[in-house]
Structure 1
Amino acid sequence: MTLAAAGVTRTADGRLILDGVGITPPPGAVTGLLGPNGSGKSTLLRVLSGVLAPASGVVTLDGAPLGELRRRDVARRVAVVEQQADTLVELTVTDVVRLGRTPHRRAWTPLTAADERAVRDALERTGLAGHADRAWHTLSGGERQRAQIARALAQEPRELLLDEPTNHLDIQHQHDLLHLVGELEVTSVVALHDLNLAAMYCDHLVILRQGRVVAAGAPRQVLTEELIAAVYGVRASVTEPDGDGRPYVRVLGTLTRGTAPSR
């Protein structure tokens, strides 16, 4: 058992953002969180991390309600990579990655040898070892994203939540990143926009539309032409060119107004 949500509802400014969402990511697997802009992906990740509390429903970690656990205990287990991060403080890449060790240390204590090993390993795994001493503000958007992922890896989590981590990354680094996530022995939930990246690297998919889960399962089961039309409003062909059970989506065009299938 790991991180899960049941009947989760969340509102903002009187608007329903999540509507009775239930999600049970398979332990040790990569779950892709898909859906159009505004479908609730980022909000759901924040609720799963404990940053936001649900208006109703419950998020559990190993069966215990998240709200009943100490924040430090949750931080030792669950790492989060947001879409964007910035700082006005002069930090090096190594300084940023060292922040991942914070939940494992007492206040004002120096890093241990184990902490430094975790930081070095995270820098190497994300291809940033050569940038360790660079100032954060000199990094490109893609490099900053990789530094944030390195920080999360230095945390040595058992659950990893990533909000559109491939933003700002070129094609090579998109694939490198998702391959890395797939190699980790953690339970991962990653919000993505690219359906083909999700089909290639995710073991399990959850599709959100207007704050509700409309489909969940293996990519081959979930990514159908009918569902893509209903959720995204586009015509698509879905094939399996490699015969490996991983679907490939080719968008053919938008649906004519009024022809999108109803929810």
Structure 2
Amino acid sequence: MAYIAKNNDGSNQFAVVVRGTIASVTDILEDLDVGTVVPFTASGSTSPISVSKGAMDAFTQVVDMRSLSASSNLVQALAGLLTGIPQPTVYVIGHSLGGCIANMVALYLKAQTWQQSQPQFGVVTFAAPTAGLQSFADYLTSQFGSMNQRYVNAYDVVPLAWADLPTAESWYPDPGPAATLEVKVLLGSIAALRGNNVYVQPGTAVSKNTDYMVRDDNLVKASVEDFLGQVAFQHANSTYLRLLDAPVLSGPPW
């Protein structure tokens, strides 16, 4: 569900990396459980801030999990690694649902009391859907400023959830696939799951692929199958690695 990595270049940088959605019923239900919002009391905010119930459930799983080797939770594991490290920087990172939850985990970790010198925290997300309402977005932005980096593929549907999902009804540009009526109905039905909740993305996104040059040219027919196939391609880890000029994995895990 998450792991911690240390940069060995002497920079005292660490990364807490949160896994994205996998093909499990639990993950899918958490992704779609946006009709109810709950208080995010673990954020350190003195004012009420709200997140979706699904995001809260996923966040709770991540921070309560125990490592197999040491039976420590996330805070305990990170504290152990930071022992004796002067002025550490910790980036909380995630793709997709992992990016959504990384926003919450970053606030939670920053709000903790650290026995060593207080780490500097940052959050870096890729393809992240929203976690909460305006109150959450404003608080996260106020806490991290330029240390909040959000990357999106301009033709990835997932970052539009749940702030602006209907935008995808006008996709994809030439050579396609154009959204059919069935696709538009599907997108509208999914967007309706949020009810009257107004979700907001935190900060300003760095948008990639704005010219739609990165695409799967085998998926350009005006059909539900090709549209959803292109959605999956545009959201894939390997596509984001390509857009960021990072080494693309030669095989699983994707």
Q: Which TM-score band (shorter chain)?
A: under 0.3
Report the TM-score when normalising by structure 1: 0.27
Q: Which structure has more RCO (C-alpha within 8 Å, separation ≥ 6)?
A: 1
> Which protein is richer in strand relative to its size?
1
Report the TM-score when normalising by structure 2: 0.28
